[in-house]
A and B are shown apart, each in its own frame.
Chain A
Amino acid sequence: MNDFGFDPLDPVVWQNPWPYFARGRDEFPAYRHQDTLARSVSVFRHEDVSAILKDWETFSSSSPADMNEGGLGELASLMAEDPPEHTRLRDHVRGAFSLAAVKGYAAAIERLADEILDELLERGTFDAAADYAGQLTARTILTVLGLPASDWRRIREWTVRGAANVTRSHFVREAEPEADRSVEAIFTEMAAYLDGFVHQADALPDGSLLRSLVQAAPGADRLSPRELRALAALTLLAGNETTTTLLAGAVLTLEQRPNQARALRAEPELAASAVEETLRFRPPVPALPRRATRNLTLHGVEIAKDDNIVVWLASANRDQRVFSEADQFDIRRGLSPQAISFGRGVHTCLGMPLARLEGRIGLERLYRRTRAIELLEPSPPLVLAPGVYAFERLPVRVTP
């Protein structure tokens, strides 16, 4: 018996996947997709999602040798490796994004948010996803890396399309050679762009992440130019559309609930708490892919070695077995320790503190500087990709 039919690439399903997640948790905690090209199993309960992410040996992040690694090809890095290689790469960057390190970026992010708002408030009508959240996050991550912030539109274009590709391949019903080629072209372009900076690191700003990585002390474990380029690409890909979606998602979720929007406007210092609730309620990365390294059975579903397992963070975060009133969005709820918005285990998102900081500042500045935000599309269209729950656009009209 299998009439669940959950298809995340169906635009109607994707616009409102929550009832599917609820049914998945209750009736199909492990669900084998029927008509997909790849052999893929979705997992919906918090308990299972958490256990799978913690067990990297059984549920690998790498692709079988004969496959294009996660669609990233030459740019595959941290996200597509297992320990010990993963640990080696990760140790080069983990301090750079620690909570202590990113606190130093707060003042610059605040200035940037205000500078962007100066222009947007003048205009009155804008795309809160691209023009505000997208610009803020792209310019921030470029600055952190040491790349020209003025390249933000180009980087944004690449990362939006690149992020859309992640996890999509697990659900397509027929091959998409044209789409594959166009994503490949993006990654080739991005690799060439980054190569230029890797080979001229002396010209990068002092203290910037890419320069410190390239100029790691002699004798220490050095990254090859290819590894450096891939790590920089991952930082751009992972640090862009995700945080953009967090901030834009907060605005949408708040403005769909006038009481909550009013509460934040009355007390803008609730922004940090509102960001936490957005992370739980509408995680920017709704699903993460893994690959089984052996045959196993999960909730009666037989999983073969090399099958894809897609764990649904967005479903885990609404699991009523773990969260009370899980479907209620309440900006006073604060940090939910059980929320799995940044993953779990060795692949936990390194950018977690930076995402929180950008989200909090972006939201706080926007609500401090506006008297009202009007959604011009009550149900804005979403990018059809399970990798990031991103917006095609989020048009708003604001009253300063």
Chain B
Amino acid sequence: MSAADEPGRGLRVIVDPGVCLGGGQCELICPDVFEVSYVSRVRVEHVDPLHADAVRTAADACPSGAIRILDGDMAKGGGEPRT
């Protein structure tokens, strides 16, 4: 576990609307964070540490690869995108 993964240290998640197909697998995996309208969107961008694992699972499993997790200290404006 890197420092960036520690609870409260700023796990952020974004959905790329140009890539998302609206399949909603993320909503099935973690409805507290993801919601699908026309395409999927993030309900809460700053993820409660409670949902960190589910968000990573959803990002990893997104078939179209639309979900990105930004690790890092939010005070510095986020870190490197990861998928």
Query: Inter-chain contact count A-B, CB under 8 Å?
Result: 68
8 nearest A-B residue pairs (beta carbon)? A98-B22, A99-B24, A337-B61, A348-B63, A99-B36, A352-B23, A95-B38, A348-B64
- A346 to chain B minimum Cβ distance, whole angstroms, is 7
Complex partner residue of B36 from A100, A345, A348, A350, CB under 8 angstroms: A100
Complex partner residue of A352 from B57, B60, B63, CB under 8 angstroms: B63
> When A337-B60, A352-B25, A353-B23 are in contact, do A100 and B38 touch as well, CB less than 8 Å?
yes
Does chain B have a CB within 8 A of A399?
A: no
What are 15 A-B residue pairs whose CB atoms fall within 8 Å in the complex? A98-B23, A99-B24, A99-B36, A100-B22, A100-B38, A101-B22, A335-B29, A337-B29, A337-B58, A337-B61, A342-B23, A344-B63, A344-B64, A345-B64, A348-B64
How long is the Cα–Cα vector from A251 to B58 in the complex, in angstroms?
28
With A98-B21, A348-B64, A352-B21 given, name 17 new contacts (CB 8 A): A94-B39, A95-B38, A98-B23, A98-B24, A98-B36, A99-B23, A100-B38, A335-B28, A337-B29, A338-B60, A343-B63, A349-B23, A349-B63, A352-B23, A352-B24, A352-B63, A353-B23
Query: How many B residues, CB 8 Å from partner?
Result: 20
> When A95-B38, A98-B38, A99-B27 are in contact, do A54 and B22 touch as well, CB less than 8 Å?
no
B37, B63, B64, B65: most-surrounded residue (chain A CB, <10 A): B63
Contact B61 A95 (CB under 8 A): no
Complex partner residue of B23 from A340, A346, A348, CB under 8 angstroms: A348
Contact A94 B21 (CB under 8 A): yes
Q: Which residues of B contact A (CB under 8 A)?
A: 21-25, 27-29, 36-40, 57-58, 60-61, 63-65
